[in-house]
Amino acid sequence: MKSPDHDPLDMLLDQSLQSASLRLDGEKFSRQLAVRIANENRRIKLVRLIPIGMGVLAAIIVTLFAPTKIDFSSDLSTLVSLWETTRPALTGLMQSIPGAHNLAVLWGAFAALAIIFNFWFVYQDSHEFLL
Amino acid sequence: MEPDDAELISRTLVERDPRAFDQLVLRYQSPVRSLLRRLTGGNEALADDLGQETFLIAWRKLGNFRNESRFSTWLHQIAYRTFLAHTRSRRDHEPLDDHSNPGSVDSTARGSDFQHDLEIAMLKLSESERAVVTLCLGSSLTHDEAANVLQLPIGTVKTHLLRGREKLRTQLAEWNS
């Protein structure tokens, strides 16, 4: 921006303020930033893996504790009836096996953690800046 | 010929080319860090840390950049908000002194007597005046752009600039001869 008048002190001020903005060496800054971006990318990948891991864990638990062997490839209806099949099985399991209740709580805790993680990142995203 | 900002942004987003973003960093790191150094009262380490945070956010949010303003204005906006977020979090722990570090002067100023006096005079401005003076005079942003960065009415920006300039002139009056 131009100075409103041509006062020597104003001109000196403008020149000094502008020249101070041009002198910082960016090489080291840029290298450090590249490392931080690489770490950030790794963190994002890891966070994306959490829900997948939760899903895999849930599938393993369901498959292990289902009363009949489920052939996932045979029919889509098998998937639809999965919940109906597993619900009584899990209820029965919780009643019959000591410690099964703890397993259910653990499973619930995993799911809750996944939800909290997701909300946290969504919150961070929206909270930081609305740009 | 140097590629323009739009081309570098496009290459970063579409081709995920880190060198394109690196070029943007090298192009704008100096004004952004200068602004943060002034805002933090010459605390170089803190300013550079906030500068890194600024570019990290820019990297994450680059897809949100709408070309409604210059890329440099958008970056300055992120830098200023990063500084405000830092100030808010610091206020939770300790009282904020507006002229927080009057003894500390940007090392870039040490080479020249006038620069040295200028940096000390800058520390005596209020936070808002310092921000407006740095953006309008140091980074050559227009009043509109500075108002956009600082989220202030344009009239307030003009007032801060006028007052800031007057205070600097008073502080540096002996250099007028």
Q: What is the pTM of this model?
A: 0.66
What pLDDT score was predicted for residue B109? Answer: 47
- Read off the tokens for A89: 């099985």
Residues of chain A with C-beta less than 8 angstroms from the C-beta of B140: 1, 18
Residues of chain B with C-beta less than 8 angstroms from the C-beta of A8: 176
- Read off the tokens for B148: 């956009």
Does A16 touch chain B if contact means CB atoms closer than 8 Å? yes
Residues of chain A with C-beta less than 8 angstroms from the C-beta of B141: 1
Domain count along chain B:
1
pLDDT band (50, 70, 90) for residue B174: confident
Mutate one of B17, B55, B116, B137 to test the A interface: name it (highest A CB count within 10 A).
B137
C-beta of residue B147 within 8 angstroms of C-beta of residue B157: yes
Give A16→chain B minimum CA distance, Å.
7
Q: Which residues of B120-142 are buried (b: 16+ CB within 10 A; e: fewer)?
A: bbbbebebbbbbbbbbbbbbbbe
Write down how long chain A is.
131
| B57-92 pLDDT per residue, tens | 999 888 888 878 889 899 999 999 999 999 888 776
Residue-number span of the structural domain to which B106 is assigned = 5-176
What is the rounded CA–CA span in Å between residue A69 and residue B75? 57
What is the rounded CA–CA span in Å between residue B165 and residue A10? 8
| B147-171 pLDDT per residue, tens | 988 989 999 999 999 999 899 888 8
Task: Write the CATH number for B37.
Answer: 1.10.1740.10
Asked if ipTM goes beyond 0.85, one says no
